[in-house]
Amino acid sequence: MADVDSTGMLVSTRFHVIPLANTAQTEGSLEEIKSDANWTGTSQSAGEYGTTFGPYMVAAAKISAENQVTYAFIRSGGAIKAALPISKNCRSGGPFPLPVAVNLAAGDQVVMVANTAADREVALSVCCASGRYACFSVTPSGAAQNELLHVISGQSLGQTLQGETITHAFVSSEGSEEVISGAGVYVVDGSDRVVGAVAATDTIHGAAVFQATRIPVLLNTRAICQTDA
């Protein structure tokens, strides 16, 4: 895998900015993107730098990388604190608001996956009414239904978010023109009835940002993308 440039920013409710950069982001791997030493003096984890402002509530963000971005999130104690809007490059605007602002604490990290130009990936990032965030992904293959699983635990949508209601979501789709049903991800219940849908954004061409939705989640709920090849 090649190394690529990744950049981004976090913006607080008090408009304090944390510039982010990693000039050696390994494609296809989950890696941290730290503060940009060009602007912050030294390269530090986002949570460490954010504490220099005092209490820091992340209200908006934008994470970009060469080629494509699959997903990005704030990691806290090994868990997802907030999923972050993403795009291929800085030409797609931003930063973009989070549905629910989150506290950035010392030890928190911004991590992301920069996808290769040749690979195809589909990822679903969600925020629930409770303020809980989660990310799910799959590398689709063949003419089939492909289930998206939690990027940390490997569990299904229902196993991860049982009892929650998804209020905001976005789907990033890279190199995945074969994703045909709903042009993105369908959420189905235990009887395979569609209870929610989130259209995909190709981050090569635009930013994947949170859109309002309302999707109830039960134990047997799954997130599915359909491919034709």
Task: Look at residue 67 in the predicted model and tell me its pLDDT.
Answer: 74
What does pTM read for this prediction?
0.93
Mean pLDDT of 111-117: 84
Task: Look at residue 173 in the predicted model and tell me its pLDDT.
Answer: 81
Which amino acid, residue 29?
S
Mean pLDDT of 10-24: 95
Task: Look at residue 27 in the predicted model and tell me its pLDDT.
Answer: 80
Token pair recorded at residue 222: 């799954």
Taking a C-beta distance cutoff of 8 angstroms, is the pair 184, 220 a contact? Answer: no
Q: How far is CA 44 from the centre of its chain?
A: 21
Task: Look at residue 227 in the predicted model and tell me its pLDDT.
Answer: 80
Token pair recorded at residue 69: 């971005």
Taking a C-beta distance cutoff of 8 angstroms, is the pair 204, 174 a contact? Answer: yes
In sequence order, what DSSP letters do the residues of 15-65 get, joined into one string?
A: --EEEEEEEEEETTSEEE-EE-HHHHSS---HHHHHGGGSS-EEEEEEEEE
Q: Which of 56-70, 110-124, 147-161, 208-222 has the lowest mean pLDDT?
A: 110-124
Q: How does strand 79-83 pair with strand 68-76?
A: antiparallel
Q: Is the pLDDT of residue 177 over 60?
A: no
Q: Write out pLDDT tens, residues 28-73.
A: 889 999 999 999 999 999 999 999 999 999 999 999 988 788 899 9
Give the mean pLDDT of the chain: 90
Q: Write out pLDDT tens, residues 140-169.
A: 877 788 999 999 999 999 999 999 999 999
Alpha carbons 123 and 138: distance in angstroms, whole number: 7
Q: Is the pLDDT of residue 89 over 70?
A: no
Task: Look at residue 202 in the predicted model and tell me its pLDDT.
Answer: 72
